[in-house]
Amino acid sequence: MIEALLVATLAAPAIFLAAGFVGSWRTRALVWQFLAPAPALAAGVFGLSHAPVSVDFRGLGLSLTLDPPGALLLAFAALLWMAVTAALWRDGAPDARFGISWILTMFGGLGVFIAGDLVSFYLLYALVSVPAYGLFAFSEDAEKRRAGAIYMAFALFGEALLLMAFALLAAGEPHGSVRIADVMAALPVSPWRDAIIALIVAGFGMKLGLVPFNGWMPLNYAAAPIPAAAVLSGAGVKAGVIGLIRFLPLDVAMESWGNALAALGFFTAFYGAAIGLTQQKPKTILAYSSISQMGVIAAALGLGLAAGDAGASGTMAFYGANHLLVKAALFLTLGFVASGARLSGLSLALAAALALSLAGLPFTGGALAKLASKAQFATGWPALLATLSSIASAMLMTHFLMSLTALPADAAQEARRETPAVLIRFWPALVLGALLLPWFFADAPGDALSLGKIWEGFWPVAVGVVAVFGWRRMGRSAPVVPAGDAIVLYECAFARTIALGPVFETADARLRQWPAAAASLLLIVLALLVAASI
C-alpha cells in the first residue's frame, strides 16, 4: 500500500511531464497536471498516522522514505500545488515553457520530501531549484532577467556545495551505501564531519536565504508572478527545511555547530525583518519575511543539534508546514487586494489574522507553530530571542498590510493580471484553510487555548503592531535599502571577476602560438620526467 503510494508520488508527476513532451497531449497534460500531486497528498496523510517506512528498489539504486516530518510537509505541499495549479490552468493556459518548468518544479518539490538516498535526493532537489527559473525569468524585462541570473547562480552554487557534501557523506560510509539513513549513521565518526556539516548548512542555507545567501530571494519573488511566488515561497523553500532536517545529525549533540547555526539563524531572523521594514513593495516584504522565518527554523534546528534533540525535526516540520500555507496565502492576498474586490471588515480581519499568524497570533496556525517551537526555545537567551523575533515578525507583517493599502496603480494592475480569478473568488476560504488546517495536525492543539498561552502569544504581536503604528505616526521614514540588500555588492564583485576574462583570452591566444605550444610539449615531457624521478 504505502510502497505503491510512494512510487505513485514520483510516477504521477513524471507521467504528466512525459505527456507534456508529446505535442498532441501537451495541452491536456498541462491542464490536468493539478491531479499529479494527488498520490503525494495521500501518501502524506498516510505517513502522518503510521510508523516511518523506507522502501528500497535495489535494481534502480533508488530508495524512498516516509517519516512524520516529511509526510507533513509532503501533504501540505501537495495541497498547495494542487490548488494553485488547478486555478492557474483553469484561468487560461500559460505557455508551454512555463508549463514544463512548472511541472518539473512540482516534481522536485514533492519528491524531495520522500527521497531516501543521496542521488535521488540530489536529483529531486535540483528539480525544485533549477527549473523554477522558467517560472519567472523568460522575459524581456531587464529586472526579471537579472533576478533570473542571480537565482540561477545561487541555485547552481548551492548544488555544487551539496554535491561535495554528499560525496563526502558517501565516502564516509564504510559499506558503500548511499541511503540517507546509512550515511547519516556513519556521519558522527566520519573524518570529514565538520566539512560535511559546514557544506550542508551553506548548501541548504542558500535555499533558505540564510545571511549572507539571502539576496536572491527578494529579487526572485518580486519578479515571479503571484501563483509562482506562492508555490516557490510556500512549497519550494521547504526543500531547504527538509534538507536540514535530513542532513543535520540532530540525534547527536554537537554543541559548537548547533550554537553556530542557531546564532546564524537568529541573526537572519532579525536581519530579514529589519531589511523588510525598509522595503515598499509587498512581494519584496513577503520575501524578507520568508528569510526571517527560515532564520527562525534554522535557529531552532541549530539548538536541536546543540542539545542532540531529534524532536526538533518534527517541530520544525510543523513550523515549516504552517509557513508553507500562510506564505502562499499571503501572496494570494496581494492578488485579492489588488483585484479591487470590496474590502469588508471581515476580509480585513482575515488578512490581518493571516499576516500576524507568522508572528504567532493566538487562534491561528501560527500560534501552534510558536508553541511547537517552544521545545527548542524553552529558556534563557533562545526564549528571549524567540519572543523578540515574534515582535519583529509582527512589525514586518503590519508593514506588509500597510503596504497593501497603499498599492500603486501599476503594481495593483500587474498583481490583478497575475492572479487566477478562481483564487480571488475563493480567497476567504483559502485563508481560513491556511489558518485552521494546522489545528488538525498539531500534537496538542488544546494547549494553545489556555489563557496563559493566549496572553503569551498576544502581547508580542500587540507590541509589534503598536510599534509600527507609532513609528508611522512619528513620521519617521526608513532608510532606503535596495531589494536584495548585499546582492548589490556581490554583483560588483562578480563584475570585477568578469573583467578578468580578457586576461584569460590573452593568455589563451599566447599559448596557442606555435612556439608556445611546442615549448609546452617539451615542458610536459620534462614535468612528467621530473615527477617520475621524485
Rg, the chain, Cα only: 24
Output the CA torsion sign for 100, 105, 111, 115.
positive
Quote the least distance from Cβ 167 to other proteins, whole Å.
4
Contacts of 527 (CB under 8 A, 6+ apart): none
417 binds other proteins (CB under 8 A): no
Give the residue, chosen from 344, 413, 506, 520, that forms a contact with other proteins under the rule CB under 8 A: 520
515 binds other proteins (CB under 8 A): no
**Residue 418: closest CA among 158, 172, 135, 108:** 135
CA distance 390 to 270: 10
- x/- binding map, residues 25-64, to other proteins, per CB under 8 A? ----------------------------------xxx---
DSSP string over 116-162 = -BHHHHHHHHHHHHSGGGGGT--SS-HHHHHHHHHHHHHHHHHHHHH
Binders of other proteins in range 86-115 (CB under 8 A): 97
Give the residue, chosen from 15, 35, 167, 432, that forms a contact with other proteins under the rule CB under 8 A: 167
Q: How many residues bind other proteins (CB under 8 A)?
A: 54
- x/- binding map, residues 335-374, to other proteins, per CB under 8 A? ----------------------------------------
Question: Which triple of cell numbers denotes residue 206?
Answer: 542558500
Q: Which runs of consecutive H residues, i.e. helices, occur in 406-513? A: 409-418, 421-425, 427-441, 451-473, 487-498, 501-511
**Residue 291: closest CA among 313, 265, 310, 257:** 265
Quote the least distance from Cβ 531 to other proteins, whole Å.
4
Give the residue, chosen from 19, 31, 171, 454, that forms a contact with other proteins under the rule CB under 8 A: 171
Helix, strand, or coil (residue 47): helix
Give the residue, chosen from 24, 405, 477, 533, that forms a contact with other proteins under the rule CB under 8 A: 533
Question: Which triple of cell numbers denotes residue 63?
Answer: 530508495
513 binds other proteins (CB under 8 A): yes
18 binds other proteins (CB under 8 A): no
- By beta-carbon proximity to other proteins, the closer residue of 148 and 320 is 148
Binders of other proteins in range 304-333 (CB under 8 A): none
Choices 133-141, 236-244, 355-363, 414-422 (CB under 8 A): range interacting with other proteins:
133-141
Give the residue, chosen from 168, 202, 317, 334, that forms a contact with other proteins under the rule CB under 8 A: 168
Choices 168-176, 230-238, 263-271, 363-371 (CB under 8 A): range interacting with other proteins:
168-176
Quote the least distance from Cβ 110 to other proteins, whole Å.
17
CB 125 within 8 A of CB 105: no
- Go through 485-516 and write b for each residue having 16 or more CB atoms within 10 A of its CB, e for each that does not: bbbeebbeeeeeeeeeeeeeeeeeeeeeeeee
Q: Which runs of consecutive H residues, i.e. helices, occur in 308-420? A: 312-338, 345-357, 365-373, 380-405, 409-418
Binders of other proteins in range 476-505 (CB under 8 A): 501, 504-505
Residues lying near other proteins in the complex (CB under 8 A) are found at 59-61, 97, 119, 122-123, 126, 130, 134, 137-140, 145, 148-149, 152, 156-157, 159-160, 163-164, 166-168, 170-171, 192, 501, 504-505, 507-508, 511-514, 516-518, 520-521, 524-529, 531-534
